[in-house]
């Protein structure tokens, strides 16, 4: 121990530790950007307003101008469909008029408002849109949730998803009528979403999936003909599959091109790649698709929420983001099959949207926090506007290093290692991060929550354990039936790899995670002897309880991760941290939102009580107004500071 204590002394180049308030307290989250003619619109989730989300707009390329807030407080753009929500707004432009439709979390209703002034751009002064209509409520307040809508300008209606009584529906609301009941257009077998209307308004496509499958496991693309009354007159399955006897595939983000061509992303090849419909749907019994742009990289994301976008038409081209080995890039595609990478410095990308030659996305890299990336394809230029001014100098940033190690059953597995910035090169304390999902991905964009640790002399390993997205379907399916085994082996193997390479001190290894990552954290503490302390946010602790009582969206997910309860009951019992809590011998701190509908607070209370009886140091902090995932900035700061204090105390640092 004395040898390690000597090694863990900070160097003479000690830099000032990054404050938790700067790291997480006031960091705005950007979502779902849009290009609207000569304007750019986006959402901001503001932690200093309790996580309230609002819509902002400014002229394209005018980052120096103050953005105009279209939805001031108390309006909160948030949906509750499938618990995780997303897809809270839709827009349309008609000449000088902007129409915005949104779901307001204040009452759960669908609202609209219009503004004029889209064509009144003056480069020499600030431009403000003027309301041409006061906010109007379209839906009545009822026991249902709405999300993932778009505006059908031809028939003057909003079309989207309604979740009611444990079922999904495709519904519409008349834009000219206030406080109305939803009009049901389609009743899917189970889940539905991602609807898209053809340019002529005569064809509608949408995605469906059924329990126990998650949408990234098995889903289908459906087509429907829209008649003059706005009804879906006929329906046809055109991609994906329904049969359990054939290989499962997943579809993502159907898109219509201006000429009526249809695109969708699909992973039959083992990679989520784009394909184009090669036949007229109404002229062929079996639709023929062309995989024009094959690549060993992913052009899709796991559909936990609505509103995600990785591909968008851009004039005569198609712009698409693809991920390989944990890094994203932007590609320009043409219908003859050519692929050309657009050179830009960001490798963590989301929310791709384009109109003509203008593209917008949310982008970051290892030195820049997330911001709006605006690309002008006509001249090949780009600009990036971060969410705030830099709060840390570049020479104080720990740049992630990609590393590969031997994971479960010898499979090559990926992770990002962040070295401590104030290290003298000797072994340092190590924090292993197990991401949520578990179908998530450890990214390389600047994460000041990680820099909080590296500025305090810690190394951080962010592990893409088996089951992570971004490495192809086979990598994702490593976790099938293996949750609590594959992820546990990989996280502990990553730590051992860094210890063996001399970068981490074996007596000072911590692990933390939230949700599914919290389960992995606890399982690592139960089934390995690698870690000395752990921190869990809203962690799954009791697999049996989760199998019997969780929200609808994930109610069948454990069938994939473990097997069905009837056939794999013993596996549920054997891998539940609550059933193996006697194997935990190190301190643990828990954080739990009391409004959590995914993981009940009772799970956290039960495992903490058992640990106390075993005389294991344990702390529990609860937050009465938080659910599954903490949105309030002050809560995030409190969690980070409490975690660091707990680790420092129990590791003797």
Domain boundaries, the chain: 28-176, 188-308, 310-332+352-387, 394-542+578-651
Residue corresponding to tokens 């003056």: 122
> Mind listing the pLDDT tens digit for each residue in 347-401?
999 999 999 999 999 999 999 999 999 999 999 999 999 999 999 999 999 999 9
Strand partners, 627: 629
Residue 87's Cα: distance from chain center in Å? 12
Tokens found for residue 54 = 């609002």
Tokens found for residue 363 = 């982008």
Arithmetic mean of pLDDT, 263-291:
89
With H, G, I as helix, E, B as strand and everything else as coil, classify residue 497. Answer: helix
Pairing relationship of beta strands 428-434 and 504-514 according to DSSP bridges: parallel
When pLDDT is cut at 50, 70 and 90, the band that residue 12 belongs to is: very low
Q: Are 509 and 530 in contact (CB under 8 A)?
A: yes
Tokens found for residue 629 = 């995932």
With H, G, I as helix, E, B as strand and everything else as coil, classify residue 491. Answer: helix
Arithmetic mean of pLDDT, 525-547:
94
CA angle 561-221-548, nearest 5°? Answer: 30
Between 3 and 590, name the one with better pLDDT. 590
Q: How far is CA 408 from CA 80, 267, 452, in A?
A: 36, 24, 30
Per CATH, domain 394-542+578-651 is 3.40.50.1820: yes
CA angle 375-376-378, nearest 5°? Answer: 150
Residue 123 has pLDDT above 90, yes or no: no
| Residue 637 backbone phi and psi in degrees, to 5 | -65, -45
The model's pTM = 0.92
pLDDT for the residue numbered 548: 85
Residue 605's Cα: distance from chain center in Å? 28
Q: How many Cα atoms occupy the beta-carbon half-sphere of 221 within 13 Å? A: 26
By mean pLDDT, which of 233-242, 317-326, 642-651 is the weakest?
A: 233-242
Q: Which has the closest alpha carbon to 271: 253, 302, 241, 295?
A: 295
Residue 14 has a CB neighbour count (10 Å cut-off) of 14
When pLDDT is cut at 50, 70 and 90, the band that residue 3 belongs to is: very low
Q: What percent of the chain has pLDDT over 90?
A: 86
When pLDDT is cut at 50, 70 and 90, the band that residue 125 belongs to is: low
Residue 126 has pLDDT above 80, yes or no: no
What span, in angstroms and rounded, lies between the C-alpha atoms of 531 and 539? Answer: 17
Residue corresponding to tokens 């981490």: 504
What span, in angstroms and rounded, lies between the C-alpha atoms of 93 and 600? Answer: 43
What span, in angstroms and rounded, lies between the C-alpha atoms of 347 and 519? Answer: 29
Arithmetic mean of pLDDT, 613-636:
92
Provide the phi-psi class of 165: left if phi over 0, else alpha when psi is between -120 and 50, else beta. left
Residue corresponding to tokens 């590609």: 331
Q: Are 99 and 110 in contact (CB under 8 A)?
A: no
Q: Which has the closest alpha carbon to 544: 512, 523, 566, 560?
A: 566
Tokens found for residue 492 = 């502990």
Mean pLDDT (the chain) is 93
Residue 127 has pLDDT above 90, yes or no: no
What span, in angstroms and rounded, lies between the C-alpha atoms of 87 and 84? Answer: 10
Describe the crossing of helices 486-500 and 516-527 by its angle, rounded to 10 degrees: 70
When pLDDT is cut at 50, 70 and 90, the band that residue 243 belongs to is: low
What span, in angstroms and rounded, lies between the C-alpha atoms of 277 and 168? Answer: 27
């Amino acid at each position: 121990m004395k040898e390690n204590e000597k090694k863990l002394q900070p160097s003479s180049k000690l830099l000032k530790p990054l404050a938790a308030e700067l790291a997480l307290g006031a960091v705005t989250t950007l979502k779902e950007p849009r290009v609207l003619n000569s304007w750019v619109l986006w959402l901001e989730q503001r932690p200093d307003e309790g996580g309230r989300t609002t819509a902002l707009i400014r002229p394209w390329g005018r980052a120096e101008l103050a953005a105009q807030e279209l939805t001031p407080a108390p309006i909160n753009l948030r949906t509750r469909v499938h618990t995780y929500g997303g897809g809270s707004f839709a827009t349309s432009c008609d000449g000088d008029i902007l129409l915005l439709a949104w779901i307001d979390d204040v009452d759960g209703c669908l609202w609209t408002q219009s503004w004029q002034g889209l064509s009144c751009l003056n480069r020499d002064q600030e431009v403000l849109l003027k309301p041409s209509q006061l906010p109007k409520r379209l839906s009545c307040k009822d026991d249902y949730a709405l999300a993932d809508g778009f505006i059908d300008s031809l028939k003057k209606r909003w079309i989207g998803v309604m979740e009611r009584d444990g079922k999904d529906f495709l519904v519409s609301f008349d834009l000219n009528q206030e406080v109305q009941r939803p009009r049901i257009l389609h009743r899917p077998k189970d889940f539905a979403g991602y609807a898209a209307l053809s340019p002529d308004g005569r064809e509608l496509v949408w995605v469906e999936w059924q329990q126990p499958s998650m949408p990234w496991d098995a889903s289908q693309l459906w087509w429907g003909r829209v008649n003059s009354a706005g009804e879906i007159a006929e329906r046809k399955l055109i991609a994906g599959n329904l049969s359990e006897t054939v290989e499962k595939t997943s579809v993502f983000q159907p898109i219509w091109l201006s000429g009526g061509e249809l695109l969708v992303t699909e992973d039959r090849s083992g990679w989520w790649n784009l394909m184009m419909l090669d036949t007229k749907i109404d002229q062929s019994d079996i639709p023929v698709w062309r995989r024009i742009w094959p690549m060993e990289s992913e052009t899709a994301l796991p559909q936990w929420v609505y509103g995600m976008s990785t591909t968008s038409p851009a004039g005569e081209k198609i712009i698409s983001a693809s991920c390989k080995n944990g890094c994203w890039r932007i590609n320009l595609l043409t219908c003859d099959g050519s692929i050309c990478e657009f050179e830009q410095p960001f490798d963590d990308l989301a929310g791709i949207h384009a109109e003509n030659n203008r593209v917008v996305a949310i982008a970051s890299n290892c030195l820049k926090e997330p911001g709006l990336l605006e690309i002008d394809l006509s001249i090949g230029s780009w600009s990036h506007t971060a969410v705030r001014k830099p709060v840390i100098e570049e020479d104080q940033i720990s740049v992630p290093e990609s590393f590969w190690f031997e994971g479960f059953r010898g499979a090559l597995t990926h992770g990002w290692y962040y070295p401590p910035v104030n290290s003298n090169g000797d072994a340092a304390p190590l924090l292993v991060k197990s991401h949520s999902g578990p179908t998530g991905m450890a990214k390389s964009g600047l994460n000041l929550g990680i820099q909080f640790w590296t500025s305090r002399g810690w190394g951080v390993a962010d592990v893409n354990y088996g089951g992570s997205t971004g490495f192809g379907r086979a990598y994702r399916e490593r976790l099938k039936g293996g949750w609590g085994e594959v992820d546990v082996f990989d996280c502990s193997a990553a730590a051992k790899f860094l210890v063996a390479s001399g970068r981490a001190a074996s007596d000072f290894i911590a692990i933390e995670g939230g949700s599914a990552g919290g389960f992995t954290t606890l399982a690592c503490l139960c089934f390995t002897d690698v870690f000395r302390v752990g921190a869990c946010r809203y962690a799954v602790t009791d697999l049996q309880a989760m199998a019997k009582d969780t929200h609808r969206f994930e109610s069948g997910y454990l069938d994939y991760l473990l097997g069905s309860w009837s056939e794999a009951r013993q596996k549920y019992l054997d891998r539940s941290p609550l059933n193996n809590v006697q194997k935990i011998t190190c301190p643990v701190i828990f954080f739990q939102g009391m409004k959590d509908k995914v993981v009940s607070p009772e799970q956290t209370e039960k495992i903490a009580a058992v640990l106390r009886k075993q005389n294991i140091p344990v702390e529990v902090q609860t937050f009465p107004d938080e659910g599954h995932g903490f949105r309030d900035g002050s809560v995030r700061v409190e969690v980070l500071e409490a975690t660091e204090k707990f680790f420092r105390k129990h590791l003797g640092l």
